[in-house]
Amino acid sequence: MIGAGRLDVAQRRRALKTRDAWWTVLVIDPLAMRVLPLLVGAPALTPLRMTGFAAALGAGSVALFATGHLVLGAVLFELRFFVDCLDGKLARLRGTTSARGAFADLTADVVLVSGAIAGLGWYLGHERGVPFELPAAVLFASLVLFWLILYDLGHPVPGRAGVPPAAAPRGLDGWLARRRLERLPRTIEVETGLLFLAPLTRSTEVLVVVSLLALAYYVLAAVALFVVLYRRLGNQVPVAVPDRDQADGWR
């Protein structure tokens, strides 16, 4: 039984993902592994309740960003992310992962990250004189990328289950894989820069530059993922869908 001590090697392997975002692996996981043993011994702290707590923190960060409390908003946003990481680790360690939990977690992520971008953008445009077109473009591009990611998750490659596992990565990718790092920084690093690190500076110039970098990332990532999905779907048989009259009747 896991107490308030440290996790053993097998428990750590269950709790941690094989590969994860750089920020998560290098910054969040070392802290999470110290807190996780305390949570496992508390049955009242279920992963779903922790997801709800993380959502409450995220909602608070949205309100703080929109009202100009940038530092507090950034701190709450990062606390949300920390708790959000803990709920998945706790579920994997207890063996209680579920489709419902994954759905709640993913929904909260999309709503709260986009809400934080909108809240911060509202403040920058309303109080700092930043053209509204910039935060609006960042929000739109992020939502497009989120939608493509969700589509990708909901449409796995046919026959993938029967494909033998790929060979172990080599070279730089192998070096990264042994350290559990993804091949490249992803949305988590962008969100950390835009909604945590940049707001801590309270500098309009820094926030504008990071917003431009975030916009460039979201656009390029969305285009790249669109191309991947478009090519993948090229040889697939389309799934029959109800016509508009039938769909309206379901509402």
The domain segmentation of the chain, as residue ranges, is 9-156+178-235
Query: Three-state DSSP class for 203?
Result: coil
Taking only the tens place, the pLDDT of each residue in 188-208 is 999 999 999 999 999 999 999
Q: What is the pLDDT of residues 112-146, one digit of tens each?
A: 999 999 999 999 999 999 999 999 999 999 999 99
Segment 88-102, tens digit of pLDDT: 888 888 888 888 888
Instruction: State pTM to two decimals.
Output: 0.86
What pLDDT does residue 62 have? 98
d(CA 195, CA 188): 10
Residue 47 CB contacts under 8 Å (≥ 6 apart), including other chains: 87, 88, 90, 91, 94, 96, 101
Give the per-residue pLDDT at 162.
Answer: 45
CATH number of 9-156+178-235: 1.20.120.1760
Cα angle 177, 178, 181 (rounded to 5 degrees) comes to 45
Separation CA 177–CA 18 (nearest Å)? 8
**pLDDT for position 80:** 96
User: What letter does residue 181 receive in the DSSP assignment?
Assistant: B
